[in-house]
């Protein structure tokens, strides 16, 4: 399994709007992700004090993960929350090597 990790920062003046970005992730981004080939699950980690957010999406294969970037899925989803982000964020790719105690659908 493979993981795309995206780290973003909410603009300080938009911290009060972070809940709307979280709802967008849950209600819009995840349902669209479920339609992508090879999608296995998603996690969103947020720090309400600093405005830092980490999105982790899991993919069956590396090619499924990379395909989701080239078919514009990623760009469309980032655009949904771009107005509250301080910049483009950091994107990195990993291979999942250990999984314990977490059941993803």
In a domain, 100, yes or no: no
Question: Can you list the alpha helix ranges (DSSP code H) found in the chain?
Answer: 18-24, 30-34, 62-70, 73-81
Total number of domains constituting the chain: 1
What token pair was written down for 100? 């314990």
For residues 62 and 24, what is the distance between their CA atoms, to the nearest angstrom?
A: 26
In a domain, 102, yes or no: no
In the predicted structure, residue 104 carries a pLDDT above the cut 70: no
In a domain, 78, yes or no: yes
92-to-19, 49, 50, 56, 105 alpha-carbon distances in Å? 24, 24, 21, 10, 22
- Which pLDDT tens digit goes with each residue over 20-48? 778 888 888 899 889 999 999 999 998 88
In a domain, 33, yes or no: yes
pTM for this entry: 0.84
Mean pLDDT of the chain: 86
pLDDT interval class at 64 (50, 70, 90): very high
Cα Rg of the chain, angstroms: 14
Q: Which domain, by its residues, includes 82?
A: 2-95
Of residues 42 and 105, which shows the higher confidence score? 42
């Amino acid at each position: 399994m493979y993981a795309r990790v995206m780290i973003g920062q909410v603009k300080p003046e938009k911290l009060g709007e972070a809940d709307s970005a979280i709802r967008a992730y849950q209600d819009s981004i995840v349902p669209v992700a479920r339609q992508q080939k090879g999608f296995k699950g998603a996690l969103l980690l947020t720090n309400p004090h600093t405005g830092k957010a980490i999105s982790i999406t899991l993919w069956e294969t590396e090619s499924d993960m990379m395909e989701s970037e080239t078919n514009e899925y990623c760009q469309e989803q980032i655009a949904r929350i771009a107005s509250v982000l301080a910049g483009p964020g950091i994107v990195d790719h990993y291979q999942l090597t250990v999984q314990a105690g977490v059941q993803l659908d």
